[in-house]
Chain A
Amino acid sequence: MKKFALTFAIAVELCAQGLDPAALLKSPTDTWPTYNGDYSGRRYSTLMQINKANVRTLTLAWAFQTRSSTLKTTPLEVNGVLYFTAPDRVWAIDARSGRAIWHYNRPSEGDHIGQRGVAMYKDRLYFGTPDAHLVCLGARDGKLIWDVVIADVKFGYYLSVAPLVVKDSVIVGTSGDQADIPHFLEAINPENGKVIWRWNSVPKPGEPGSETWPDAESMAHGGGPTWMTGTYDPSLNLIYWGTGNPHPVLAGIGRRGANLYTCSIAALNADTGKLVWYFQPSPHDTHDWDAVETPVLVDAEFHGKPRKLLAQASRNGYYFLLDRVTGENLLTVPFVATDWASGVDAKGQPIPDKKKEPQLDGSFVETDSGGATNWMSPSFDPQTKLFYVNAQRGFTLYYLDLNANQQVEGHQAAQPARFGRKVFWLLSTSRPEEFAGAGPKTRAGRILAF
């Protein structure tokens, strides 16, 4: 008993059961302290206890009933506690027993379509709400510490992203397609909720990228939501974050040009939020091809030369491999059949086919309107050197929606049809094989878990 008390006292003194942000710099081995498990976004666990030999003996240990909407969250696991979310709600439960430790509920207005999870910094958790607030909770008891407004819910902004802790900041991105609005990424001070820096995913007039918009008005309402958690390379001090579709979503007639930096992968300086390079998977998007899918960081040889790589299987049906130091494109290959692009340009960016843009009488496009993939995270297994992605094929009718005054009326009009779901695996090349399932994680035990 005495020994137990002593151990306990030491543990409290060391980290107060919290998470030292410096611990995130090493790939964790026995915790899952961020949305993607580590900064690389590869969602690979080094644990060996569950492996190819014993995976078929797994049985249910416990089940926890949330009595909530669909869970689209990845739990954090720190010191034996799971922290996970639904819109408005956070739970802390014992990972061994499934017993609830605390539950936080904050009913709000705004879009409740999804919530990906919390971020942890020391003994605090960070949680985005449907009314676009960032909330800071005590990890031990779920009690509110502060609550700040990130964006105006009346314009349809909401937060679904799991924030990312980088050094002494909490990176948070915005969601919302309901009205035509400009989106951004912010670094927030974890102590007091104050903004450290802000990167606008659509430029202001005169700034670099503004030449890809027709006018100030279209830029001021240009979209580019930042609704999925990015990745971070501490050695380069770069944050990699994907941006979503421009606004209006499907109607491109009022925003001629590439519409930077929507549907892009942006590399930002972690201390200043300044753009270092970008790559645009879908220039002038008119199909809702968010490029927010996890930019996975891999160190591997490419054509015999060791390189720092970034891989994204993008919603538009293409797999992109980039040099993450410079943004140079190394590979662009489709991972599902798709016909919205007429080819690939010199920079490795697909060229949108004008005929496949939404039309008044409907254009018929091969690709599911939900995308070839979406928010379900991919995984990279350093043992097999394979990139695993949940993918789907389909066809969609896209309509351009104008009102009687020839103005863009609805933000979206599409009739989707889905024909089956397949998972494809890729070895940084175009050699896909089919496999059934959804949302992979890889493990050192040589298994792929869904």
Chain B
Amino acid sequence: MAMPIRVVFPALLALLSCIRVVAQDATERGQAQFARTCGFCHGPDANGGAEGTNLMRSALVRHDENGDLIGAVIREGRPAKGMPAVPLNSSQIADVVAFLHKRLDESDRRSPRKPDYALKLLLTGDAAAGKASFFGPGGCSKCHSPTGDLARIVKKYAPPDLQARFRYPSGVAKTAIVTTSSGERFSGNLFYADSFRIAIKDAAGWYHSWPRSQVKAEVHDPLTAHRELLRKYTEAEMHNMFAYLETLK
């Protein structure tokens, strides 16, 4: 007799979260253990140090499964290569192995940046110059206000997202006015357009489409001003603007 799903499911969830906590503890203990007994040669992140190799580039580490290869190297050392045996017990070794596998995952990730890492590095501009541009030649104040739509903008977007977003915002639909051959006019958000077809969704949410050759279509892009700015900005102006936007807390 199978257990009812409402019992199995929470039990499973609880089990999974236990496993996760245990795994996390192991990698944290492993990190501390590694720093104490291995980091002085291999670096605290196992990326290599003055004496020891970068373990992210080790075939043995990459082929290890649950310590089957790493364990022996820790216990016996590699005397020929100058690595001494490290007297760790089996649970300490398991922790170090867990830490090394976590480091491999991190190292192989395409972009491990964290939002908090970003802000202090990204804030290289002059906020006052950014503000002057916002209300002056940048033209931002024609559409935006620091006390209106941009108030507390830093709470809404992580720094790298804000940095990208003011250059190329997204999520604002193009609009279109379509006039048919009989003179009927339709307007709404542009849904699709290519050389052969055009489609909109009107204010009531209804979808309309036409062969492009049979209608007259005017397409409006609310983000045109942002696109035009892309080639006008200098690197310094963009960093200044970002520094100013980061003051809108």
**Residues on A facing B (Cβ under 8 Å):** 152, 154-156, 177-180, 221, 355, 360-364, 366, 395, 397, 399, 401, 403, 405, 407, 409-415, 417, 419, 436
Contact = CB atoms under 8 A, between A and B. Distances in A.
Interface in B144-164: 160, 163-164
Given A154-B62, A155-B62, A410-B110, A397 B164 contact: yes
Of B43, B59, B111, B160, the most chain A CB neighbours within 10 A belong to B111
Nearest to B239: A361
B235 A364 contact: yes
A415 B242 CA distance: 15
A415 B160 contact: yes
Contacts of B122: 361-362
Interface stretch (B8-16, B78-86, B203-211, B226-234): B226-234
Contacts of B107: 179, 409
A413 B45 contact: no
A363 B242 CA distance: 13
B167 A417 contact: yes
A433 to B, nearest CB: 13
Given A366-B230, A403-B45, A436 B235 contact: no
- Interface SS of chain A: helix, strand, loop or mixed? loop
Given A179-B108, A364-B235, A366-B230, A407 B47 contact: yes
B70 interface: no
Nearest to B231: A366
A179 B111 contact: no
B227 A419 contact: yes
Nearest to B234: A364
A363 B45 contact: no
Contact of B113 (A361, A395, A413, A417): A413
Contacts of B62: 152, 154-155
Given A154-B62, A361-B124, A364-B235, A413 B111 contact: yes
A159 to B, nearest CB: 18
A179 B57 contact: yes
Contacts of B5: none
B93 interface: no
A434 B164 CA distance: 28
Contacts of A360: 121, 124
A405 B230 CA distance: 34
Nearest to A397: B164
Given A397-B163, A401-B111, A407-B47, A417 B121 contact: no
B195 interface: yes
Contacts of B163: 362, 397, 415
A395 B167 contact: yes
A423 to B, nearest CB: 11
A409 B45 CA distance: 10
Contacts of B195: 436
Contacts, number: 81
B57 A401 contact: no
B142 interface: no
6 contacts: A154-B63, A178-B108, A364-B167, A395-B168, A397-B164, A410-B113
Interface residues of B, number: 35
Contacts of B57: 179-180, 221
Nearest to B233: A364
Contact of A154 (B59, B111, B160, B164): B59
A436 B137 CA distance: 35
A179 B238 contact: no
B47 A355 contact: no
Nearest to B194: A436
Interface string B119-135: 00111100000000000
Given A364-B238, A405-B45, A179 B56 contact: yes
Interface string B214-249: 000000000000010011010100110000000000
Contacts of B4: none
A403 to B, nearest CB: 7
Given A179-B57, A361-B239, A401 B230 contact: no
Contacts of B168: 395, 417, 419
Interface in B47-61: 47, 56-57, 59
Contacts of A411: 110-111
A412 B109 CA distance: 9
Given A395-B230, A410-B109, A415-B164, A152 B235 contact: no
A156 B112 contact: no
Nearest to A417: B168
Interface string B9-30: 0000000000000000000000
Contacts of B160: 362, 397, 399, 415
Nearest to B223: A419
Contacts of A401: 111-113
Given A366-B231, A405-B45, 6 more contacts: A154-B63, A179-B56, A180-B57, A355-B235, A361-B121, A395-B230
A355 B238 CA distance: 14
A155 B43 contact: no
Of A152, A180, A409, the most chain B CB neighbours within 10 A belong to A409
Contacts of B112: 401, 409-410
Contacts of B123: 361
A178 B57 CA distance: 12
Contacts of B110: 177-178, 410-413
Nearest to A409: B112
A5 B246 CA distance: 81
A155 B59 contact: yes
A202 to B, nearest CB: 15
A399 B238 CA distance: 14
Contacts of A179: 56-57, 107-108
A363 B167 CA distance: 12
Contacts of B59: 152, 154-155
A257 B249 CA distance: 44
A395 B230 CA distance: 8
B166 to A, nearest CB: 11
Nearest to A359: B235
A401 B59 CA distance: 24
Contacts of B113: 399, 401, 410, 413
Contacts of B170: 417
Nearest to B230: A395
